[in-house]
Structure 1
Amino acid sequence: MNAPVAPIAAHNLLVLLLQLGLLLLLAHLFGRLATRLGMAAVVGELFVGVVLGPSFLAHVAPDLHTWLFPADPAQFHLLDAVGQIGVLLLVGLTGIYMDTGLVRRFGRTAAGISIGGLVVPLGFGIALGFLLPRNLLPPGTDPLVFALFMGVAMCVSAIPVIAKALLDLKMLHRDIGQLTLTAGVIDDAFGWFMLSVVSALSIGAVTAGTVLSSLAYLAVVVIVAFTLGRLIVSHALRLASRSADPGPTVAIAVALILLSAAGTHALGLEAVLGAFVCGVLIGSAGRVNPAKIVSLRTVVLSGVAPIFFASAGLRMDLTSLAELPVLLAGLAVLAIAILGKFLGVYAGAKLTGHSSWEALALGAGLNARGVIEIVVAMVGLRLGILTVEAYTIVVLVAIVTSLMAPPILRMAMARIKPTTEEKARESEYASEAAF
């Protein structure tokens, strides 16, 4: 009979508790400060990791940094585990709050806009991946996998950032706001699928067989999810809804999200894909009372997700941008990310009959990468596709593009007259919170 596994050592537990408490406290404080300054809270949460990581604390107080964040993989993996649960629940929550009614209402027009906003930046990103200096690739990384990953990083958008910007600017009731959200939903879904393909390719050699098997697994996930998976989710939520207490509903939702993430991960796909698909199934099942999910949303957005973003900042090393080749590569990636998304969305919007100002507003909204880009960057770092320098560049793209969105949206929307229908919807959306 095997001996029982020893519990976590006292010192390791002490360090973990200090890490979690400090990251969460500072993430809350800096997130509030960022919000007051008109920025997304995630900017402040990431900044916590920058301050406590190799960019600052490691230089001004190296002994403290080494004690609080020791270079011990086992210790760091404990913090990673908490962060991974946070991001899976965050992505699942994004799926729950995804408005499938918007997709049905604006689907055809949004698809045309989204295709342009996906294909152009995807192509630009792949080309850029082949042109970037080889020292930005970890040793042994297939250049094709790196290029595909850069393409994915360039084409994603962030529903949470888009929704928050539209809500803050009181534009959620506008047709352009609805279109931006719908196109963002399509972008996100495509991004998770592509990320899963790239993550599967990173495990093995890039061959026609691996590509086809990855796509086959994706097809299986989608088919099973929207047939058998839908029945399981609906039945589980119906049982949970018999209780007036929100506890069973929250527990079932969390369990389903984590199990779905485990399922796609076991297939060699990315765990966030399973979490997102499960979230969509939960949100579209019609069995969830929104009031019962509020507690889950509070815990995720105010608890575990900030820890993830703060720990993501710990891996950024802004001092690497002092090296001219890295700085030039970063500026090139940022320029291509912005140009590719704006050009693609602008072309798609014009082809679907929108004015230049409407096309510009759509481009500004979908250019915001936010939390989704950070999740993508963390996946790339975990899979060994990105170096710390490349990871820092991708996260900076997320921050800069999110900061750009609100002022450009405000400028463009000021030149678009609201329709009668939009005015009628204004009071309906004024009191709604958007995720």
Structure 2
Amino acid sequence: MAFLGTLCLILVLTTLAGNFANRLGVPAVIGELVIGIVIGPAMLNWVQLNSLVSLFSDIGVVILMFLGGLESDLKLLVKYLKPAIIVATSGVVFPVTIMGAVSWWWGFSPLEALFIGVIFSATSVSISVAVLKEYHALSTREGATILGAAVADDIIGVILLSLMISLLASQGIQTTGSQPALGLVLVEQVAFFGGTYLLVKWIAPYLMHLSERLVMASSVTIMSMVICLGMAWLANIVGLSGAIGAFFAGIAVANTPYRNTLADHVEPLGNAVFIPVFFVSVGLNMTLAHLSENVGLIVALTVLACLTKLIGCGLGARLSQFSWTSSTVIGTGMIARGEMGLITAQIGHQAGLMSNTSYSAMILIIILATILAPLFLKPALKRLPVAAKV
């Protein structure tokens, strides 16, 4: 029952912080992220990232991405699939090469440096989705490209992580847990996206129509959550982020007559409980241990973590015929890091590839980049032409 008090504290503080952030003219998520740092191990240590907080956080990001899918335009996503792939590819190449090279120059071994590059190659678009939703920019060509690039980025991240695990094994470094072969992972992911097509085309419309005929309160909303959680679970099984599965579930349900009803029902549920816990959990990951030993490295790699995505993804967007303003929006929308980076860093730490000091520094850099991303995205969105935001 102690968790109820923790949850109450989180909801009160995030509501106040979000209100204060909005009054200052910055995205509300910034206030919620900062609350996680203040009440977490980094400062007051009132709340720790225990299993219940992690569970609510996982549900929060799933609901957030489901809502992102609900508000997305499928035709727009398909239309901008090619530029999304270009953006994702260039946004992976830049961090791997530049951050890897700088890490090697800083004194890390070649394998460690490459691993650091891979850590920062992955994007977590959940934070950007919250900002895009807040400023009604999800159903724009920039928003569609960011979302499509995030999906491609996740797949590339899985491939790079699998290759790094194979490379570690070839060097005699053991990682914890058994890892499936890369070929099997790719086959499973192809099957997942094939199933996603069937879900969007036939399965979701049938299930939603069936749910309306059930004599049960909120049956349509319940069915939508079954689809959402089921797709998140399947995505996780095939090695993708559960957020990606939830996003496609949202797209599938959005192509039914129940789109507006579900947005009205699911959004209050997410924003009232689970989504604030997700944002706070990001801050709870932060620790100031060994900070004084790595200030230079943390500052340098945080700057590079932002610039390599901004420039890499921005150039990819520019190559895809976007304007400089739109390219900046896309680049800033891809800055945030998240679960894939944390997972990769954890594997390197467990394998003994990174010391406790280096591991703490990498986690801190991931969190700093995630916090800075919305601060860059909001002013970039404001520079978009009014017509592009409609």
TM-score (norm 2): 0.79
Quickly say closer, same or farther: Cα 1:292–1:259, change in 2 above 3 A: closer
Summarize the Cα distance change of 1:268–1:338 in structure 2 as closer, same or farther, 3 Å threshold.
Answer: closer
Note closer, same or farther for the CA distance 1:351–1:390 as it changes in structure 2 (3 Å cut). Answer: closer
In the TM superposition, residue 296 of structure 1 has moved relative to its aligned partner by: 0.6
Cα distance, 1:79 vs. partner?
A: 2.0
Q: Report what 1:241 is aligned to.
A: 212
- Which of 43, 57, 63 lines up with 1:56 in the alignment? 43
Q: Separation in 2 of the partners of 1:350 and 1:87? A: 30
Name structure 2 gaps, 5 residues minimum.
171-179, 350-357
2:244 maps to a residue whose letter is: L
- Counterpart of 1:51, as a letter, is V
In the other structure, the counterpart of 2:59 is 85
Match of 2:300 among 332, 336, 353: 332
Tell whether the 8 Å contact from 1:40 to 1:402 is kept in structure 2 after alignment: yes
Do the aligned partners of residues 197 and 346 (structure 1) sit closer, same or farther apart at CA in structure 2, a change above 3 Å counting?
closer
Structure 1 residue 361: Cα displacement:
4.1
Indicate which of 218, 234, 243 corresponds to 2:189.
Answer: 218
User: More displaced, 300-309 or 153-162?
Assistant: 153-162
> In the alignment, which residue of structure 2 is the partner of 1:343?
311
1:46 aligns with 2:33: yes
Aligned length: 370
Which residue of structure 2 lines up, in the alignment, with residue 322 of structure 1?
Answer: 292
Write the mapping of 1:23-422 to structure 2, written as runs, cut at 5 A. Answer: 23-58=10-45, 65=46, 69=48, 76-104=50-78, 107=80, 111-112=82-83, 114-127=84-97, 128-129=99-100, 131-132=102-103, 146-153=116-123, 158-165=128-135, 167=136, 178-197=140-159, 210-227=181-198, 230-242=201-213, 247-283=218-254, 285-318=255-288, 320-323=290-293, 325=294, 327-353=295-321, 358-369=323-334, 373-377=337-341, 379=343, 387-410=359-382, 412-413=383-384, 422=387
Give 3-state SS (helix, strand or coil) of 1:152's partner: coil
Give the conservation status (yes or no) of the 8 Å contact 1:381–1:388.
no
CA distance in 1, matches of 2:66, 2:340: 15
- Separation of aligned partners in 2, 1:346 and 1:122: 12
Cα pair 1:157 1:367 within 8 Å, conserved: no
Aligned to 1:237, what secondary structure does the other structure show?
Answer: helix
Any conservation in 2 of the 1:246–1:292 contact (CA below 8 Å)? Answer: no
Give 1:433's aligned residue: none
Q: TM-score, normalised by structure 1?
A: 0.72
In the superposition, relative to structure 1, how do residues 273 and 408 fare at CA in structure 2: closer, same or farther (>3 Å)?
closer
Supply the distance in 2 between the matched residues of 1:124 and 1:143 (Cα, whole angstroms). 14
Q: CA deviation at 1:407?
A: 2.9
Match of 2:90, SS state, is helix
The alignment-based identity, stated in percent, is 20
Answer whether contact 2:32 2:276 (CA < 8 A) is retained.
yes
Aligned to 1:5: none
CA offsets, 1:55-109, max 9 Å, x none?
2114xxxxxx4xx54xxxxx9112211221222222222222221132345x27x
1:228-251, Cα deviation, whole Å (9 max, x unpaired): 675332211111234798711211
CA contact 2:91–2:313 (8 Å) conserved in 1: no
Q: Secondary structure at the match of 2:87?
A: helix
Once residues 303 and 155 of structure 1 are traced to their aligned partners in structure 2, the CA distance between those partners, rounded to angstroms, is 20
Change (3 A) 1:155 1:17: closer
For the aligned residue pairs, the C-alpha RMSD in angstroms reads: 3.8
Q: Distance in 1 between matches of 2:321 and 2:219?
A: 47
Q: For residue 337 of structure 2, what is the amino acid of its counterpart? A: E
Give 1 or 2 for the bigger CA radius of gyration. Answer: 1
Partner Cα separation in structure 2 for residue 309 and residue 408 of structure 1 = 22
State the match for 2:352 in structure 1. Answer: none
CA offsets, 1:192-245, max 9 Å, x none? 333444566687776898222221211111112212675332211111234798
1:149-175 Cα deviation digits (max 9, x unpaired): 32114999823323534x4xxxx59xx
CA contact (8 A) 2:37 2:43 kept: yes
Q: Cα gap change, 1:256/1:409 in structure 2, threshold over 3 Å: closer, same or farther?
A: closer
Measure, in 2, the Cα distance between the counterparts of 1:375 and 1:290: 30
Moved more, 389-398 or 241-250: 241-250
